[in-house]
Amino acid sequence: MRQRKDVPGVDAKSLIKEAGRLLPDPARRQFLRGAASLGTLTLLTGCEIIDGDSAENTLRYVSRFNDRVQAALFNRSKLAPTYTEADITRPFPFNAYYDLDEAPVVDPATYKLGIAGLVQDKTPWTLERLYALPQLSQITRHVCVEGWSAIGSWQGALMSDFLQRIGADTRARYIHFICAEGYTETLDMPTLLHPQTQLTFKFDNEILPRAYGFPIKIRMPTKLGFKQPKYVVAMEVTNQDKGGYWSNQGYNWYSGL
Ligand SMILES: Nc1nc2c(c(=O)[nH]1)N[C@H]1C(S)=C(S)[C@@H](COP(=O)(O)O)O[C@H]1N2
Ligand SMILES: [Mo]
């Protein structure tokens, strides 16, 4: 995706409509059906939204409220649907904020996954060592906020196993991921500990091609596509939300499915 999301102007009507769209269900339906006003928004979100507050601030309050509701509803043991080989979308789409020929080229010989923050063992991981980890396979649906979805097959290490191996403090709130071309994403710990969250090395049983994030993609069938960093070069276990490429531009941070 290329376009920055439009933040509507100070026009109260369009602001309320936009804020309503950001609300999680069922609050959204209730809000849009009923008397949608800044007053009701304040009641619903518990944030003090005052007339004259900038549109951007108001939307930020509502989006944060949405994050809290989604995080509270997230069930760590509820599994996303899985599919069969025959369901795999071929060719699987490539997506990034640039064209494929501009995608990062990572040298496997010198690559190391950097580990930082609240972790006991910060030794960087070579690909040889990563590939020796026990691996799992999943065929799940990838959903992009731009309005397409596709079923793919991914293989890699279970993220919760990897975190245990490096002695990550899983009481920390987040992990911040950094990608080769500068894309970043912060993910919440409960999602990272979900049994389908994968440190992914392969697509369709072949080493991840450049298009799909060589050498590492974080794959989570419980989140929208833009929350799933490709070309990951470093991760930091932290209690600070360090944002992400698209959520910094107004997309909902949590973006659960
Ligand atoms: N490093 C990086 N990761 C990224 C992106 C990106 O531009 N750079 N785009 C995201 C978006 S919006 C989507 S939909 C998926 C696309 O993954 P795919 O190319 O494997 O389909 O990657 C996500 N991860
Ligand atoms: Mo996406």
Are 177 and 156 found together in one domain? yes
Instruction: Supply the residue whose CA is at minimum distance from atom 23 of ligand 1.
Output: 226
What number of other Cβ atoms are within 10 A of residue 75's Cβ?
A: 9
Specify the ligand 1 atom closest to the Cα of 104.
1
What is the residue-averaged pLDDT of the chain?
Answer: 91
**Nearest alpha carbon to residue 170 among 239, 124, 234, 113:** 239
Are 147 and 94 found together in one domain? yes
Q: Quote the tokens at residue 64.
A: 């944060």
The total of structural domains in the chain comes to 2
Specify the ligand 1 atom closest to the Cα of 246.
12
Are 129 and 243 found together in one domain? yes
Q: Cα-flanking dihedrals φ and ψ of residue 54, to 5°?
A: -70, 150
What number of other Cβ atoms are within 10 A of residue 163's Cβ?
A: 23
Are 64 and 178 found together in one domain? no
Tens digit of pLDDT for each residue in 88-102?
Answer: 999 999 999 999 999
Q: Which domain holds residue 89?
A: 85-249
Distance between CA atoms of 232 and 199, rounded to whole angstroms? 10
**pLDDT over 60 (residue 4):** no
Are 143 and 43 found together in one domain? no
What number of other Cβ atoms are within 10 A of residue 118's Cβ?
A: 17
Proportion of the chain above pLDDT 70, given as a percent = 94
Residue 254 lies in a domain: no
Q: Which-ligand-closest: CA of 227?
A: 1
Specify whether the CB–CB gap between 180 and 230 falls below 8 A. no
Tens digit of pLDDT for each residue in 143-165?
Answer: 999 999 999 999 999 999 999 99
Instruction: Give the CA count within 13 Å in the CB-facing half-sphere of 8.
Output: 15
**Nearest alpha carbon to residue 230 among 123, 124, 93, 133:** 93
Q: Which-ligand-closest: CA of 217?
A: 1
Tell me whether the omega of the peptide bond preceding residue 91 falls within 30 degrees of 0, making it cis: yes
Instruction: Supply the residue whose CA is at minimum distance from atom 21 of ligand 1.
Output: 94
Are 228 and 112 found together in one domain? yes
- Ligand 1 mutation pick, 113, 185, 226, 233, max ligand atoms within 8 A of CB: 226
Residue 5 lies in a domain: no
Instruction: Find all residues with CB under 8 Å of 28, minimum gap 6, and list them.
Output: 20, 21
- Ligand 1 mutation pick, 228, 246, 251, max ligand atoms within 8 A of CB: 228
Specify the ligand 1 atom closest to the Cα of 232.
1
Q: In this predicted structure, which of 29-38, 114-123, 192-201, 219-228 has the lowest mean pLDDT?
A: 29-38
Are 141 and 217 found together in one domain? yes
> From residue 247, how far is each of 18, 40, 176, 235 by CA, in Å?
16, 25, 13, 18
Q: Quote the tokens at residue 109.
A: 């010989």
**pLDDT over 80 (residue 29):** no
**pLDDT over 60 (residue 1):** no
- pLDDT at residue 11, rounded to an integer: 65
The 3-state DSSP class for residue 65 equals helix
Q: Which-ligand-closest: CA of 141?
A: 1
Is the pTM above the cut of 0.75? yes
Give 202 or 56, the one with higher predicted confidence.
Answer: 202
Instruction: Supply the residue whose CA is at minimum distance from atom 24 of ligand 1.
Output: 229
For residue 89, how far is its CA from the centre of ligand 1 (angstroms)? Answer: 16
Instruction: Find all residues with CB under 8 Å of 143, minimum gap 6, and list them.
Output: 149, 224, 225, 257
Instruction: Supply the residue whose CA is at minimum distance from atom 10 of ligand 1.
Output: 226
Out of 73, 95, 116, a domain closes at 73
Instruction: Supply the residue whose CA is at minimum distance from atom 19 of ligand 1.
Output: 94
Instruction: Supply the residue whose CA is at minimum distance from atom 6 of ligand 1.
Output: 96
User: Rounded mean pLDDT of 134-141?
Assistant: 98
Are 176 and 234 found together in one domain? yes
Tell me how far apart the 2 most distant CA atoms of the chain are, in Å: 60
CATH of the domain at 207: 3.90.420.10
